[in-house]
Chain A
Amino acid sequence: MAAVLETLETVKSVDVDAYKYGFVTDIESDRAPKGLNEDIVRFISAKKNEPSWLTEWRLDAYRRWLTMEEPTWARVDYPKIDYQDLYYYAAPKSMSGPKSLDEVDPELLRTYEKLGIPLREREVLAGVQGARVAVDAVFDSVSVATTFREELAKSGVIFCPISEAVHSHPDLVKKYLGSVVPVTDNYFASLNSAVFSDGSFVYIPPGVRCPMELSTYFRINEQNTGQFERTLIIADKGSYVSYLEGCTAPKRDENQLHAAVVELIAHDDAEIKYSTVQNWYPGDSEGRGGIYNFVTKRGDCRGANSKISWTQVETGSAITWKYPSCILRGDNSRGEFYSIAISNGRQQVDSGTKMLHLGKNTTSRIISKGISAGRSSNTYRGQVFAHRKASGARNFTNCDSLLIGNACGAHTVPYVESRNSSAQFEHEATTSKISEDQLFYCMQRGLSAEEATALIVNGFVRDVLQQLPMEFAVEAQKLIAVSLEGSVG
């Protein structure tokens, strides 16, 4: 019951429309000129001091992007984005390359403290018992700090901003960058390939179990700026890593663009667990402002017996367009997708996954829980595919939607495609509302309508919450209660 009480207290303490992380950090920043053209792409590349192959790679992506059309198949509706009216690069002025933490602008450190992300290792050690998390903090277009790097290096784990990895581990970056999400994969991935700024790079050597949770914390601060981060995680043979991602942005009246690409590669017997708590600014109750979140996330189970697991809690963003997928190439590989997507106000979510079974005896599991409230729209869109050679493939999919209020929508669009007779696919989906009986039962025990709803919702999403690392699970539970606020009664 403790967690439930905590949830309820959080609900009480915050007002409707209260987005906790909506403050703006006043920091002078260095920006590229507005707009997008080949010069801007070159400018970003030069800022990062990149080798010429990467500059060419970006330019190639940019030229291909020009020939593409923005996808319209998702159930999201937004005014046309003017790609020339955005800044594609913004960095705090004081940052002129990776530094030690002592040199980082104290204003930045305060920002992260406010967000509850301690960047000083000493504080981490003093503050939290047992659970230590290494953090890469990305502020607009640059990484401001990465903690615990030395300790990780002792086990051979590479954890650094991708802009740094380009210089320190060029062969790894060159080998894997774009190998899961090709440059021309989709409109937003191409855009990202052209202008990506920073993100994390992780390499886990063979046989190593990463000694701590790795995490990246993304923050958009600057006005009219897009964030285009790129994350690349490679788990070599027999290794294991758990990675967390969090994101927030200030409250602003205009919409901001976030188009990220995440690539995961799991070799033989390796396992990657990727968890996201997405809490970008969702816009106000009238639908003003908020982040447009167009993200391409894909994992490649390249080796036999490899495993990739995606867990996401999606509560923020005005628009979410996101399909973390698994390519199950290696025999006996496994893909998992656990998702909670909550929409309230005027949010629009179109999210789901793809499980592409290519190898033999590959298995996958999809658990998706969608909750819509207010005037929002929440769509699950997922594909399960078995190739002719994928004998013995198995999939289980369960997507449930919960509707709160009668002005919202919940949709389910699964694609189940089998090309192999021994593949076994099961799919089930339900949509319902919180039943009167359940509410009545709780209220009869003395809970108010709002408390009862919070309790039932927590039960509804429990399957997914259990998949989150412990310290994130508590955070996520609070987030769910806050997101649904004002939707009951």
Chain B
Amino acid sequence: MALRAQPVKTPAEEAIAASFPAFAARQARWGGAEVAKAREDGIARFRANGLPNRRIEEWHYTDLRSMLREAAAPFEAFSDDLARKAAAGAAPIALEGAARLLFVNGRYVADKPAAGLEVVDLTTAPSLPPVAAQALARDTAYAGNGAVALNRAFTNGGAIVHIAAGAPHVIHLDFREIGSEAFSTFPHVIVDVAEQAQVLIVESHRGSDDIAYQTNALIELKLAAQARVSYVRLNEAGAKSISLATLGLDIADHATFNLFSLNTGAALSRHQIFLHSDGEQSSIDLAGVTLARGKQHADTTLVVEHKAPRCKSREFYRYIVDESATGVFQGKIVVAPDAQKTDGAMKSQTILLSDEAAMNNKPELEIFADDVLCGHGATCGSLDDDQLFYAYSRGLPPAQAQALLLEAFAGEALERVADEGLREQLRDKVCAWLAQRVIQ
């Protein structure tokens, strides 16, 4: 139906717009001209478009305007006490010898600094060093995205990180949300990886199950030539939370980027990946497992843009959706006219475990070069009866048989994590989720 409708501002939209001037004034003491400009741009976009809604194609399946009923105020009351309390919490994952960058309610807290790693806290300096200012002023194709615009308008913390070639091997971006009442956070982290640097970055999100907090993180990663980055993302956000996250990627020639994302947390989660491959012969591998149950809504939206010739990309996502949860996968491979010889393949596969569960799948190809090899596949179904029967006939009870098949299903995506220790920890998390399953 193409009926003409005037967008009516929802209470949440009005509250967000109304809170901006005072918030920006209070935060004006840091970030300098660049942050101030980003705030103005962001709020202008928000005022023009409102919250992302189903009339905007890329938000068709995740209608924030109707899902975000109340906008929580951006978190501002930082204290050393709060930081200490957050740091004392259990680690989401064990990483040996890792440099840890802790973000508490959006604000960067120096934790375990390491040599070869330069970190500028966005909120300490009244004006930023030139390198950081330049990084902030970068023009990105996704600046118009609704979640990104909100993050830039309300940035309440963040850091600019430079990883040199000889930097530590493992870096942990540890995001934690604690508090006793609802709040929202808008961290902005920029990571520059130098030429030939090799690094494993782990991004984790964890927060209190008791409060309906809202996070909207923006992480921008720039890989210089021949850099090699493995990236593992862990979403274990609180059960009542809304977790929006955007990963912007800019990849130079001969660089390698491998991502694995395990998504189990938040009532409403959306992970956006905007990848821009600018140099020749880069290699990209994105994979993920999403496990959703209850009334969870889990969205992964990715756009892989091939701008240069002879690049390779693989996207491999698996979803297990139970009870009345909803899964969303939107993947788009764009091949520019000059990006000849691009080799792209995307696959998303889903198992629905209940008749109340829903899955929306939208794999897209947008191709302007003729000498390419691109394809995508998407499947959606339930557990295979023959496989179940085989397991039953070997004496496995239904719950165990199903768990076994589901573990194997998720396992194929997990295989893509190169670091064995990390992979096993992720597998344990998948098994723990499966063990909590209630089978009628």
Contacts and interface: CB of A to CB of B under 8 A. Distances in A.
Interface of A: 67-71, 73, 184-187, 388, 391, 401, 403-433
B80 interface: no
* Residue with the greatest number of chain A CB neighbours at <10 A, chosen from B1, B4, B365, B377: B365
Given A403-B367, A410-B367, A411-B366, A68 B4 contact: yes
Contact of A71 (B2, B361, B363, B371): B2
Majority SS of interface residues in chain B?
strand
Interface string B351-371: 011111111111111111111
B2 A409 contact: no
B56 to A, nearest CB: 10
Contacts of A410: 365, 367
B370 A422 contact: no
A419 B358 contact: yes
Contact of A424 (B368, B369, B381): B381
A388 B358 CA distance: 9
Contacts of B369: 403, 406
A388 B355 contact: yes
B234 interface: no
B355 A416 contact: no
B382 interface: yes
Contacts of A68: 2-4
A432 B373 contact: yes
A422 to B, nearest CB: 6
A391 B340 CA distance: 43
12 contacts: A185-B1, A403-B369, A405-B370, A406-B340, A411-B364, A412-B363, A413-B362, A417-B359, A425-B380, A426-B378, A430-B375, A431-B374
B379 interface: yes
Contacts of B215: none
B228 to A, nearest CB: 29
Contact of A414 (B1, B362, B367, B371): B362
Contacts of B382: 421-422, 424
A415 B1 CA distance: 18
B129 interface: no
B374 to A, nearest CB: 5
A-B CB proximity, top 8 nearest? A403-B370, A421-B352, A416-B361, A430-B375, A424-B381, A412-B365, A427-B378, A425-B380
Given A423-B381, A425-B378, A418 B359 contact: yes
B367 A69 contact: no
A186 B1 CA distance: 6
A70 B4 CA distance: 10
B366 A409 contact: yes
A406 B381 contact: no
B370 A408 contact: yes
Given A391-B355, A409-B366, A421-B353, 4 more contacts: A406-B337, A408-B368, A416-B361, A422-B381
B358 A401 contact: no
* Residue with the greatest number of chain A CB neighbours at <10 A, chosen from B1, B362, B367, B369: B367
Contacts of B353: 421
Contacts of B368: 408-409
Given A67-B4, A420-B355, A431 B372 contact: yes
Interface string B21-39: 0000000000000000000
Contacts of A185: 1
Nearest to B360: A417
Contact of B367 (A184, A416, A419, A431): A431
Nearest to A408: B370
A414 B372 contact: no
A423 B367 contact: no
Contact of B362 (A406, A416, A424): A416
A433 B380 contact: no
Nearest to B379: A426
Nearest to B366: A411
Contacts of A421: 352-355, 357, 381-382
B350 interface: yes
Nearest to A186: B2
Given A406-B369, A433-B371, A418 B378 contact: no
A69 B55 CA distance: 13
Contact of B360 (A405, A416, A428): A416
B365 A411 contact: yes
A427 B370 contact: no
Contacts of B367: 401, 403, 409-411, 431
A418 B380 contact: yes
Contacts of B373: 430-432
Nearest to A416: B361
B222 interface: no
B233 interface: no
A139 B379 CA distance: 45
Contacts of A71: 2
A429 B373 CA distance: 11
Contacts of B1: 184-186
Nearest to B374: A431
Contact of A433 (B354, B370, B381): B370
A416 B355 CA distance: 16
Contact of A73 (B57, B358, B372, B374): B57
A431 B373 CA distance: 6
A429 B377 CA distance: 6
A406 B360 contact: no
B4 A417 contact: no
A58 to B, nearest CB: 19
Contact of A427 (B2, B3, B379): B379
Interface in B317-348: 337, 340
B293 to A, nearest CB: 13
Contact of A417 (B57, B358, B381): B358
Nearest to B327: A418
A429 B370 contact: no
Contacts of A416: 359-363, 378, 380
B169 interface: no
